[in-house]
Amino acid sequence: MDPKPLVSTGRGRDLARRDWSPFDTLQREIDRLFAEFGRYPPIFRTPELTPTIDVTETDKEIEITAELPGLEEKDVEVNVANNVLTIRGEKKAEKEDKGRSYHVVERSYGAFARTFELPGGIDAGAIKAAMAKGVLKVTVPKPAPAVTKKVEIKSAA
């Protein structure tokens, strides 16, 4: 539906719209609501299990820090294959329903995975991971910079 201009461009050029309808206002409000729907989180949204990540870099290493509250080392797995680092884990539900009625459930349970493409030349054997107080820290040493070597050209006589 093409929106009509607010100012008439017809013969009379009057400012009042003769074809105004309350449904036009309703349609504009519905369109605005749907346009803004993705901008703000819904009030009763359940949190996703995707961990929040910080990626920092120095001259010598890349450090990936992931918040994994409620998880232990045995619940998390870090893999590297084809220059892709994957952090995978699962948070299992702990329920005791002995006569309890749940009114609000906001805690998330289930499996998650995050992947990161690493620069070429990374030594997968030198990657280290440590976990303390629900925070996983993965340290990836950067490869040594490539050395440029001049190749002497000889004449083929």
Which option is the CATH number for 53-94+106-141: 2.60.40.790, 3.30.1360.40, 1.20.210.10, 1.20.20.10? 2.60.40.790
Contact 83, 117 (CB under 8 A): yes
Contact 143, 83 (CB under 8 A): no
pLDDT > 90 fraction of the chain, expressed in percent and rounded: 36
For residue 54, the one-letter residue type is: D
pLDDT digits (tens, 9 = 90+) for 96-130: 667 777 777 667 778 889 999 998 888 889 999 99
What pLDDT, on the 0 to 100 scale, is given for residue 51? 86
pLDDT digits (tens, 9 = 90+) for 29-59: 888 887 776 665 554 444 567 888 999 999 9
* Domain ranges, ordered by start, for the chain: 53-94+106-141
- Count CB neighbours of 109 within 10 A: 13
Helix H or strand E encompassing 84: strand 84-91
| pLDDT value at 90 more than 80 | yes
